Amino acid sequence: MHDLQRLPPIDFSGPAQFEVRDLHFSYPNGQAALRGIDLSIAAGDRIALVGQNGSGKSTLIRHLNGLLPVQQGELIYQGEPLVGEHLRRARLEIGVLFQDPDDQLFCSTLYDDVCFGLVNQGMALETVEPLVRQALASVGLEGLIYKPSHHLSYGQKKRAALACLLAMRPQVLILDEPTANLDPGQEKILVELLRQYSGTLICITHDLLFAFELCQRAVVLDHGQIHHDYTMAELVAHPPSMREHGLDFSFRLAGLANQDLPPLQACTLLPEPPADTGTASHSKGTAVLALGNYRFSYPDGTQALQGVDFVLHAGESVAIVGENGAGKTTLLSCLMGIQSGTGEHSLEGANLSRKQRQLLWRKVGMVFQDPADQLFCASCAEEVAFGPRQLGLPAEEVERRVDQALQRVRLSGYHHRVPLHLSGGERKRLAIATVLSMQPELLILDEPTAGLDPQGEELLLEILKELPQTRILVSHDPFLVAELTQRTLVMHRGRVLEDYSTADFLADQSQKSLNLLALGYRQQRSREILELQHQHQHSHAHYHLHDHPHRHGELVHSHPHEHQHDHPHAYTHTHGADSSEHCHPPEVGYHEHSHPGHEEEEHRHVHPEDESSDG
């Protein structure tokens, strides 16, 4: 379903804000990143730029603010090519929110950071102060104006970076993966802030729920070309084209549909609902790891854990949820023995001394949120072999485990690839392989799907489901929690607030709205998308019954007749998320709409009157 010639879904009058014509770009190593981009962006457009990792999204936005020079083609902003003095001025009107806020907060205090752009806009230092205060107040950081940015939390940094841009009152705001690594609370704030923003919004994201919330238009990139230019609703309503571009997140909706949505019309292609998860937690195995009244304080005095009791049984999968700073990460590092606090800590019933805790790495494997923190070798094979070598295994065994682990994470044959050159999803899987090769009894996963595109997410989920290990999962993602775990621990300010079955937890969410997981607007949007997916347009060959004047050679006459058309129509129907098949038959119906040019075409069909076909 590629309708490349379609007009942008939003009408605009007057000149476009951005006019991109036949833009090509190749990196110095010869790799073509953009291949003939044509795009018009009107002032006030809200565009989601989506596509697989490596499809050229980042390259495109780096053109839009002149960070990359135009090699071939045209790029016009406000009627002028984006070069020289015009580029300098344009940059002051185009705000870019990059992925890592640490890259953008390069001054000593938040004040200076916000000041930086304003002063570059030509404002006098004496007059900017109210603007700086206002900008920081609008993102809720007015109390931290003179704080050095390295003291902020990740979410605060992200908001501060946004404040730096908003202060400049940009006409265009470009966001690169704005929700990556944000916890749901912070994400909600960000969504609110962006909703209030009235200029042009261009947003790169894998998170279609987020995009659906904020954007009206979706531009799908694939291998440096624009494949679709839709309204957002059209995109999310059409799983096959999302699937084609690795964007299909419908697998998430399936789980949600089973929770508390009104039952949908039956469709055989919908996946089976997951097995009842509530019962699993009752069949308890032996305790693998246990903490009793465990406390931990950081050297700076922060009490991160305040009396945690936690027993993990063999074969169990437990989710740990809670807002950022609730003590989840500290709990993990204590379980791993990286940090050592006071209280009981036992492995398989035997209490662990401080020394023994440091040997826990032999039994417990941990996958970090950012694979960059875990990968430090020059080839994948070395990387995966590192752990088994530290265990002191013989060379053949190490080799066998490397092969096995790489195969497990679908990276067979990657032995000599350089980890640093892999894509985000591959790096994540490699990080998992490095841990799997040590064959840990317990596997700890910290936000395993952070930063992955939906396709990568689905693959990872598949891999994780296959693993036999006892698991601990830290995640903000209700879908992941529902799919992978049977038991949930809710943490809050260093304490375990709740410890119950995941099913109870998910039910609890909607009642108490603890706001711990990414529900809220997401749930709302998910439902809307589900609805949309059942009534949406299809463009595939189907039959029409017509009544219009038409021509057979010299003869022009009019009568109802049937023939095949290929154009979109709205159908109300259901179909599976993972298939392009449809439950609905290509119906024959009477249509009253026009088919431009159709009447002039030659018609070949049998006329019952004269039993002959005209030419």
Provide, rounded to whole angstroms, the least separation between the CB of residue 437 and other proteins. 9
Nearer to other proteins, 467 or 497 (CB): 467
Which helix (H) or strand (E) covers residue 330, if one does? helix 328-336
Amino acid at 57: K
3-class SS of residue 115 = helix
User: Measuring CA to CA, which residue among 531, 542, 536, 551 is closest to residue 598?
Assistant: 551
Residue 305 sits in the site that holds other proteins (CB under 8 A): no
d(C-alpha 421, C-alpha 424), whole Å: 9
Sequence-separated (6 or more) residues with CB below 8 Å from residue 527: 256, 261
d(C-alpha 213, C-alpha 382), whole Å: 43
Provide, rounded to whole angstroms, the least separation between the CB of residue 232 and other proteins. 26
Provide, rounded to whole angstroms, the least separation between the CB of residue 582 and other proteins. 45
d(C-alpha 88, C-alpha 386), whole Å: 49
Residue 145 sits in the site that holds other proteins (CB under 8 A): yes
Nearer to other proteins, 171 or 374 (CB): 374
- Region of 325 on the Ramachandran plot (φ > 0 left; ψ -120 to 50 alpha; else beta): left
CA 287 from chain center: how many Å?
35
| Residue 569 C-beta-side C-alpha neighbours within 13 Å | 22
Provide, rounded to whole angstroms, the least separation between the CB of residue 66 and other proteins. 8
Nearer to other proteins, 423 or 580 (CB): 423
Residues in region 418-457 near other proteins by CB under 8 A: 418, 420-421, 434-435, 438
Nearer to other proteins, 214 or 332 (CB): 332
Residues in region 593-612 near other proteins by CB under 8 A: none
Residues in region 152-171 near other proteins by CB under 8 A: 164-165, 168
d(C-alpha 485, C-alpha 501), whole Å: 9
Provide, rounded to whole angstroms, the least separation between the CB of residue 88 and other proteins. 7
Residue 107 sits in the site that holds other proteins (CB under 8 A): yes
Contact between 61 and 176 under an 8 Å Cβ cutoff? The reply is yes
Of 40-48, 214-222, 330-338, 499-507: span binding other proteins (CB under 8 A): 330-338
Contact between 515 and 525 under an 8 Å Cβ cutoff? The reply is no
Strands 350-351 and 342-347, by their bridges, are antiparallel
Of 146-154, 188-196, 517-525, 545-553: span binding other proteins (CB under 8 A): 146-154
Contact between 45 and 229 under an 8 Å Cβ cutoff? The reply is no
Site string for other proteins, 356-385 (x = CB under 8 A): -----xx-xxx-x-x-xxxxxxxx------
Provide, rounded to whole angstroms, the least separation between the CB of residue 79 and other proteins. 20
d(C-alpha 443, C-alpha 436), whole Å: 8
* Residue 144 backbone phi and psi in degrees, to 5: -120, 25
- Region of 564 on the Ramachandran plot (φ > 0 left; ψ -120 to 50 alpha; else beta): beta
Place of tokens 């002149």: 66
Give the number of other Cβ atoms within 10 Å of residue 93's Cβ: 18
Among 13, 127, 150, 585, interactor with other proteins by CB under 8 A: 150
Place of tokens 């465990």: 294
Provide, rounded to whole angstroms, the least separation between the CB of residue 119 and other proteins. 4
Among 4, 67, 541, 556, interactor with other proteins by CB under 8 A: 67
Residues in region 342-361 near other proteins by CB under 8 A: 361
Residues in region 207-266 near other proteins by CB under 8 A: none
Residue 27 sits in the site that holds other proteins (CB under 8 A): no
Site size for other proteins, by CB under 8 A?
71
Residues in region 534-593 near other proteins by CB under 8 A: none
User: Measuring CA to CA, which residue among 611, 292, 317 is closest to residue 469?
Assistant: 317
Residue 338 sits in the site that holds other proteins (CB under 8 A): yes
Among 39, 49, 115, 530, interactor with other proteins by CB under 8 A: 115
Nearer to other proteins, 210 or 361 (CB): 361
Among 104, 205, 330, 574, interactor with other proteins by CB under 8 A: 104
Provide, rounded to whole angstroms, the least separation between the CB of residue 105 and other proteins. 8
3-state helix, strand, coil in the chain (%, to 5): 35, 25, 40
Among 16, 94, 247, 312, interactor with other proteins by CB under 8 A: 94
Among 15, 106, 342, 395, interactor with other proteins by CB under 8 A: 106
Provide, rounded to whole angstroms, the least separation between the CB of residue 138 and other proteins. 15
- DSSP, res 447: S
Query: Between vectors from CA 212 to CA 208 and to CA 215, what angle results, nearest 5°?
Result: 115
Nearer to other proteins, 172 or 247 (CB): 172
CA 352 from chain center: how many Å?
40
d(C-alpha 527, C-alpha 525), whole Å: 5
Strands 200-204 and 46-50, by their bridges, are parallel
- DSSP, res 598: G
Residue 414 sits in the site that holds other proteins (CB under 8 A): no
Residue 149 sits in the site that holds other proteins (CB under 8 A): yes
Residue 86 sits in the site that holds other proteins (CB under 8 A): no
Among 143, 394, 468, 608, interactor with other proteins by CB under 8 A: 143
Nearer to other proteins, 376 or 543 (CB): 376
Residues in region 492-531 near other proteins by CB under 8 A: none
Among 112, 403, 504, 578, interactor with other proteins by CB under 8 A: 112
Of 102-110, 207-215, 460-468, 591-599: span binding other proteins (CB under 8 A): 102-110
